[in-house]
């Protein structure tokens, strides 16, 4: 399983729905200001290439992780 982290602010509704259809699981990590919220898309290895292609063609930036980051790890990246 691969975990794609995408800043919620850069994704519109249509893009979000398209990504949801391709992911095995979609989670939203909510943070209070001044931090942004994150989408965490869990993608199986078989769908990895198609998911990356979709992100790249859409022009969305992402962070890729081999393990699901904890809430504290997400916070550390924003500090």
**In a structure prediction context, what are the per-residue pLDDT tens digits for the chain, which is 79 residues long?**
999 999 999 999 999 999 999 999 999 999 998 889 999 999 999 999 999 999 999 999 999 999 999 999 999 888 8
Please give the pLDDT value at position 47: 93
The string of pLDDT tens digits covering residues 10-23 is 999 999 999 999 99
74 token code pair:
């997400």
Q: Where are the domains of the chain?
A: 2-40+52-78
| Sheet containing strand 2-7, strands side by side | 25-29, 38-43, 2-7, 63-65
Q: pTM value?
A: 0.91
Integer Cα distance of 76 and 60 in angstroms: 22
């Amino acid at each position: 399983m691969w975990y794609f982290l995408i800043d919620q602010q850069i994704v519109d509704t249509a893009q979000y729905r398209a990504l949801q259809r391709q992911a095995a699981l979609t989670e939203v990590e909510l943070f209070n200001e001044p931090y942004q919220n994150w989408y965490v898309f869990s993608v199986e290895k078989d769908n990895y290439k198609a998911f990356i292609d979709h992100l790249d063609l859409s022009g969305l930036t992402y962070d890729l992780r081999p393990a699901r980051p904890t809430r504290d790890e997400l916070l550390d990246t924003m500090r």
